[in-house]
Structure 1
Amino acid sequence: MTIPTSQAELRDAIVTEFARLDADLDRVPPASARESVLPGHAKGTTMSPADLVAYLVGWGEQVLTWQERRAAGLPDEFPAAGHSWGDLGSLAQQFYREHEDESWEHLRARLTDAKDRILALVDTRSDTELYGSPWYRTWTMGRMISLNTSSPYRNARARIRRWLRTL
């Protein structure tokens, strides 16, 4: 899928990549959801399918936090409070920990909710708001959203599919 450059393309990318990922997550045996069987987001670590979903939930909710902070006139915290772009492995580990007690079903429901809330946000923005000017450094709002939704959905799907082939 190409990089979205309009509201319609961004919406389509999120919907399409999420649907593909969701179908593959349906194939994960719930009894295996907490087994550390996937390469982790930090070098030399492993994670479970549930950790992978927690990571996606974390980033989806972070996108929403960025928007909420901006709307409230609060300063930006990129990528997240207490983290730098050079330390995303520790942020991934934080997302795993924050969701470690949640069931597979609850994690998946939170992922769907975050996706739906992001789509609602996208629906309220024009092409100009999403892609007309830099929103964070050189990145437009639309690009920042896609970097944290459709792109990681696609990456997560590849990880899950690779593992599912070993079952």
Structure 2
Amino acid sequence: MAAQTKQELLALTKSEYRKLRDLIAGIPETVAAETGDDGISIKDTIAQRAHWVELLLKWYEDGKAGRVVHKPAAGHKWTDLKTYNAKVRKDSRARGWDEVKAELEAAHERLVTLVTESEESALYGKRLYDWMEDWTLGRWAEATGASHYRSARKAIRQILKEHSGAA
């Protein structure tokens, strides 16, 4: 069930992140770099999730500053997500596993700070900026935070299962 309040959002975001962090904590870099049947690795998955949290934070900052918000990113459309996400994963491949995990940690902390510092009305009142369309800031934060953390765990467990026969 989707969070309806700031406290629910904070609790959900922190809980889902903790579960993801615990899942990846003991995964060595060699395993994190192995790809699943879809060609995506655990490291790719984590890098992509960190990137999307950072995208939300950029959208928010750009909207707040009155700048144009490019969703999902400049030169890309929502219908182009498969190609866009492939580029994000490719761009992250040169970075090490520890660096990618640190990027996720930093992005998560910035997301928690945004939620913590936002008023309830800013999170779940009417949308603040046009870029939000029909979603509130809280809904965007949940989609790029807790929901993405949850889907990352599912993808990672699948990769681990493909490589070991169990997850």
TM-score (norm 2): 0.90
Residue aligning to 2:85: 92
1:145 maps to 2:141: yes
In 2, Cα distance between the equivalents of 1:94 and 1:62? 14
CA distance in 2, matches of 1:38, 1:77: 32
Q: Which amino acid aligns with 1:146?
A: E
Aligned: 1:154 with 2:150: yes
Segments of 5+ residues of structure 2 without an aligned counterpart are none
Higher helix share: 2
Q: RMSD of the alignment, in Å?
A: 1.3
Q: CA deviation at 1:33?
A: 1.4
- Aligned position for 1:61: 54
C-alpha separation in 2, matches of 1:38 and 1:8: 38
Question: Aligned with 1:63: secondary structure?
Answer: helix
CA distance in 1, matches of 2:127, 2:62: 17
Displaced runs of 4+ in structure 1, greater than 3 A?
Answer: none
Percent identical among aligned pairs is 29
Letter in 2 for 1:29: P
Aligned mates of 2:153, 2:7 — CA distance in 1: 22
1:28 touches 1:164 (CA, 8 Å); kept in 2?
Answer: no
How far apart, CA to CA, are the structure 2 residues paired with 1:49 and 1:164? Answer: 9
Specify whether residues 63 and 38 from structure 1 end up closer, same or farther in structure 2 by C-alpha distance, changes over 3 A only.
farther
Matched, 1:109 2:91: no
Deviations 1:25-52 (A, max 9, x none): 123232121121253xxxxxx2111110
Per the alignment, residue 9 of structure 1 pairs with: 8
| Letter matched to residue 85 of structure 1 | W
Say whether the 8 Å CA contact 2:126–2:136 is kept in structure 1: yes
- 1:127 paired to 2:126: no
In the other structure, the counterpart of 1:77 is 70
Q: Deviations over 1:110-140 (max 9, x none)?
A: 1000000111011111111011013411111
Contiguous gaps of at least 5 residues in structure 1:
40-45
| Separation of aligned partners in 2, 1:95 and 1:145 | 20
